[in-house]
Structure 1
């Protein structure tokens, strides 16, 4: 899943990116409100981590403007402002969670995943799609009870489809989930990852909607579906 990190402290950002990309998350970082506005306009992010002490604008002002424009992406505020009034103001301004610095990385990751579950209407941390079972926190996938080994990007892709249900996903949305803003990718890279998922989990798991994108297919049966 794609995380937009808005943080001007290099040390904090470096630790966050290193930790979150082991989950796996894909993280893009910007250091200012101006950079955040540009990123929100150009990348399909799943969740935002927002520092409030930005060099060009207060983070709460930025958040209020987003909510006034109808942007509903989950936002976790990460800040050193620890007064109760600050926490209340942050939540009332549209934050979905409020975490204080210094923070525990494992707890922060758990909070991010809880927000993602809430945003997608999912109560359980485990995805079950027919005989397919996926635990994102551990990167564990089973089909008919048999463990399936997936690469990091295959896990990212699978999670994106499972979280999206039957919603149509465009190529740009999927590429952002796998690579973010900065990575140069080959024109066929996404198709290769989709092909590998179909080989391992059944060819009907991901459906191609010609000229539009892809969507999650019907749950695999007890035999796991026929591989291509």
Structure 2
């Protein structure tokens, strides 16, 4: 191979290696918009407070990217975030997200109705965040969902059916104020469901027999529900 050809090849490999995993501009813009939207306590925050224009956003604490520089993970638990997430938040334009953890934040606000705009979401953590009101039925449109954590809030109303979320393995709804009864449709067909925690709620009616026949169920918590 000629020296010039070898040089071009090595240069190309270097460029590919360097670019791989580097935060994309559009993703960085969305994250900075999200930071500006959120009200958070800078004395508590260990992640958001350090996001800036200069650094590669894939290296920001709490942010995970794939090899193409697309944001696939946000872990912002316990960041002192208060207020609410707006329905038009930049968060819902981070469409490559597969993991989102916002637990231990916020003050009495409802769960936004827009999480269905994150079609790749596999893990959603919203526990211990003071959420009030109903569980949005649109969460059941997250067909890639594997883990759903909504425990220790002030959620009311009935539990929507999740029978379309065929990949669900863990559902945590404990320590809320959920009411109503469960039907055979609620968790029907969830062959991978291993953990279902509905304890410490205000549910009524009989326990559907099919809950005990889910093939992968290992932990079923219904106490004080």
Question: How does the TM-score come out when normalised to structure 1?
Answer: 0.26
Structure with greater proportional helix content:
1
Q: What is the TM-score with the length of structure 2 in the denominator?
A: 0.26
Q: Which structure exhibits the higher relative contact order, with contacts defined as CA atoms closer than 8 Å and separated by 6 or more residues? A: 1
